[in-house]
Structure 1
Amino acid sequence: MKRAERLHALSEMLRRSGTRGSSAERLAREFGVSVRTVKRDLDALERGGAPIWSRPGPGGGYGLAVGASLPPVNLSAAQAVALMAAVSAAPDAPYADLAAAGIQKVLDVLDPRTRARADELAGRVWVNTAPSASRAIRSALEEAMAEQRVVRIRYTSSNGATTTRDVEPVVFASTNGQWCLVGWCRLRDAMRWFTVSRVERAYVTKMACGGHTIHEIGEPPEGARPVHGRGE
């Protein structure tokens, strides 16, 4: 049994064991591996996001939170490298750090042979990207968007004017090679586009956004489309 298949089977066995859990020794016997290997597999599942609990002592063991399971990971080496390349080439994209962490979780549960091939292939893909906005600024903008809270920014426009504004984030948009925050500007009482690299400071307030929608922005730039998980 390949490691990826074993990890999936292991997560399903833990799920079926419910609140009773299973000891590492029992899991090792079930899959014909050593206790050490089972514990390494459990660590990999946990790093991959599986909500594994452990209970020490006699009668203890390992279990998976009710309702949780881990789908099988069957990426090829090229698919894994494609994900790494996409994130590495766009470090200033919204939630890029979270994407990198997610890819690492996927890599952690690949079978050793595929992981080794992916690592070798990744060394053949080089990227050179321009410096992006500070991590603190991007984190604040990302948090404000995800939580739908007003973000206070210090912003310098293309004509050199610097202002402090409260903005209700609506959309992140990439246009002409730059990322923009599009949102309702409370200073101008209108929808505005803010180039992220021109934001000098950003602070997430406790104020909730007022419910402005994407439809208020108007037509997106030519060729622009939402990101999604479906291939086209």
Structure 2
Amino acid sequence: MNKPIPLLAQDKLTFLLSVVPYLIDRGSVTVSDIARDFGVSPQYVRNIIPFLGSAGVPGDTLTYQHSDLFDIDWDAFEQHDEVVLRNYVGIDDVPRFSGTEAAALLAGLQYLAASPSFAAREDLGALMEKLSRGVDQLPPSVVVSSPTGGPVADIINQAIAESRRVEFRYRDARGTVHSRQVDPWQLYSTDGTWHLNGWCYLRDAVRVFRLDRISDITITHHAILQHSNQSEAYGLLFESASADIVVTLSVTGEGNAAIQDYRPEYPLNEDADAVRRTALIRVANYAGIIRLVCSRPDDIVVIDPPDARAAVARWATDALESYRSQ
């Protein structure tokens, strides 16, 4: 059996700096376990651990009071050859999440962990466990409703994992049903609605499909092919088509940020920092415009065409009438 290599002064300092977080993380540890993990002799551990009792920080009084020093369970150390830190200082003098902050982060991680794209990520569970431990108080219990795209999403995720094309029937915004063959690239949720991003062979272009409009989906034997604009399509929620309606909007800075997924155009070359700008977007029907205006009525105003303004006005009138009737 090889004898442990004698430690130099800098090695001893490294040992002392390393052993404290090691003990904090593990709680009660035997001398033999410490010696094994750090590659030193048990006697070396017995000799150096008592020095922790004289180490610490000056504290508010600058006099090194007892509470300013490290302390161990001396009975456990002397009688059972175990090291247990009873007081440690300095280590916790770093920013820590409050219970509310940790709960907010845990809620977001729970949502990610439940989505098909992240369900197999073991590191998410480990991160959530660390967050639960690394707070200054117990975080509130948070339960997040798990997002799900249903059986269709399961099939698409399998196709993506196997790099195979899918075939399905799709009902578009106008109610027309077509058979589609699609190379699936990306599956994601926006405001609770699941979308598939991929290459549509019917349109010979990138398309985004809502999962709630997909039926009779199957995985084909065809492999997914690489397309020249594939990298540009990731994260794009709306892709224009030749039959789309062009709508002119007046938007504030926040309204402009809300329409970026529509690939807006700015025909008047106005100052990007202007209070309001004129933007053109393309939509399949007026339902999308109504949703936009509803989400930011002060920041998005429909200018043209008249039919779009009328659709928004009808929706607002119906909403008011519904409110009055309650």
- Which structure has the bigger radius of gyration? 2
Relative to the length of structure 1, the TM-score reads: 0.48
Higher relative contact order (CA 8 A, sep 6+): 1
Taking structure 2 as the reference length, what is the TM-score of the superposition?
0.36
